[in-house]
Amino acid sequence: MMTPSTPFDFSGKVALVTGGTRGIGKKLTSTLAQHGARVYFCGTNQELGKQVAHEINQGLAPASAGTSFLKVDVADFTACKDMVAEITAEAQQIDFLINNAGITRDNLLLRLKESDWDEVMAVNLKGCFNCSKAVVRSMIKKRYGRLIFLSSVIGLMGNSGQSNYAAAKAGIIGFGRSLARELASRNITSNIIAPGYIQTEMTQAMDIKAQEKITEMIPAGRLGTVSDISNTVLFLLSPLADYMTGQVLQVDGGMLIA
């Protein structure tokens, strides 16, 4: 755990990470816990969630605040409200909300089913609304809070076969920036991270040629890592970023240089 003199010591802070059982979300949960925060994370797989919580807690120092898993579908407005109520009843506060939960249902528009569109919008975009609305009131009362939204470079550039995903990720940018304007006077920041291609289970499942083709598009010459994203989150949650809000940080190795 970091010493109290560092800006990345989050002792006494409470964080909620959505979609925290795999990939980027799992890394965010682990990293915040390692830096002293009490971390709650949610997902829809009860068995996996408990396994991840146990794994993370086993690796923490004895005095750490630890992590807890909550089985919640972020597309369910009432479930999100109840989740936040449960956390605040136990921890008394939520200082950080990292909206990370997301799914894909890729297909060309002519083959895209209505359910593919609705499911992606419900989880990726409405999930951000559900969780943010649930936590913001207590942040306003406390006059402190940090909101982070995981978008994607796909939300900025579009991508063939991902019109639903791109639309949802673009919507997250508009939503997050709007909240930045609404909440800045209450000492609540709202920032967006737009990752490029990150090494996760999803990208590792691609064949070698597909991975090579993607890498050729990236000036840095490599895919990003989950640590590249978690380090950016640490910065945005720290006092070093207190004067930053409404920003879209592209963490993509230069893939989308304008």
Six token digits for residue 170: 């673009």
Active site residue 144: no
Q: Determine contact, residues 131/152, Cβ cutoff 8 Å.
A: no
Distance CA 162, CA 187 (A): 36
Residues 107 and 113: their CA atoms lie apart, in Å, by 9
- Residue indicated by tokens 């979609």: 19
**Residue 158 main-chain phi, psi, to 5 deg:** 75, 165
Tokens of 131: 């969780």
Instruction: Give the CA radius of gyration of the chain.
Output: 18
Label residues 185-195 b or e (16+ Cβ within 10 Å = b). Answer: eeebbbbbbbb
Of residues 40, 144, 165, 197, which has the active-site annotation?
165
Q: Would the CA dihedral through 45, 47, 50, 54 be positive or negative?
A: negative
- Active-site residue set: 165
